Amino acid sequence: MKSKIYKISSALLTLLLVFTLSNCNAVKNTNNKQKGAVIGATGGAILGAIIGNNVGKGGNGELGAIIGGVLGGGAGVLIGNKMDKQAQKIENEIPGAVVERVDDAIVITFDENSGVYFDTAKFYVNDASQVNLNKLIGIFKEYPDTNILVVGHTDSVGTEESNMTLSKNRAYAVTNYITGKGVNGVRLETNWYGETQPKHDNSNAEGRAKNRRVNIAIVPNEKMKNDAETEAGEN
């Protein structure tokens, strides 16, 4: 089934904190190149797309510091254009993935139904998942001026401690696979949340399957930001 690129602006962060991300459908047609001109923001909407509306324990660092802020003005317009093109290519080449354009970033969600998944209680990248990761890696190499954040999650089956470990192992399995295929490890950060950040209902099988997920966020690096500011005459 063909995926859709959902677009969320930083201006919608207040709504994002009140409503669940299912409301992203209502804004999916917003033009990110226009939204790039909105000044400010702290990457909060990106965090919402990765970990849902819950902020809790887990992980190995501050995601906000990794993601950084959102550029406005002409530089934001230029970055928005580049990221839109990259998101469209990901959608075209990996039709099962859920691709969201959030502020300056691209957030990709892989669960059991969308291309990169893990066997029960396992964390190795299986053959089926490698096919889609290889496509994604090709795009990473084509667009080198970005950083990549990999975040692992699980459902609530099992103990909280074992799920934290499982999500860590799965996230690192994806990170290690990507770097093993030639993507510079400096570009990647890895985080994990176990069962603490569900985006779906863990009381039913469908919700649990969606919570067993790995998110990959692609954000502009400092070179892309500096180049955009220079091109826009803002640096």
Q: Look at residue 94 and give its three-state secondary structure.
A: coil
| pLDDT for 66 | 64
| pLDDT for 62 | 55
> What total of structural domains would you count in the chain?
1
| pLDDT for 24 | 35
| pLDDT for 68 | 66
**105: its two tokens:** 């970033």
> Given CA atoms 72, 75, 80, 83 in this order, what sign does their dihedral have?
negative
Pairs from 99-102 (Cβ < 8 Å, separation ≥ 24): 99/3, 99/4, 99/5, 99/6, 100/5, 100/6, 100/7, 100/8, 100/24, 100/49, 101/5, 101/6, 101/7, 101/8, 101/32, 102/6, 102/7, 102/8, 102/45, 102/46, 102/48, 102/49
- Rounded CA separation 200/126 (Å): 24
| pLDDT for 203 | 95
**46: its two tokens:** 């990106």
Mean pLDDT by 10 residues, the chain (235 residues): 48 31 31 31 70 55 63 84 94 88 89 77 86 94 94 92 94 96 95 90 90 91 88 80
**163: its two tokens:** 């799920």
Tell me whether residue 85 is exposed, middle or buried, using C-beta atoms within 10 angstroms of its C-beta: 0 to 12, 13 to 18, 19 or more: exposed
- Rounded CA separation 26/77 (Å): 22
**106: its two tokens:** 């691209």
| pLDDT for 9 | 44
**218: its two tokens:** 């692609």
Domain that holds residue 73: 5-231
**60: its two tokens:** 């190995």
Instruction: Please report, for the domain that includes residue 171, its CATH number.
Output: 3.30.1330.60
| pLDDT for 40 | 31
The per-residue b/e assignment along 187-208, b for 16 or more CB within 10 angstroms, e otherwise, is bbbbbbbbbbbbbbeeeeeeeb
Say if CB 83 and CB 106 are below 8 A apart.
yes
Which pTM does this prediction carry?
A: 0.78
- Rounded CA separation 233/235 (Å): 6
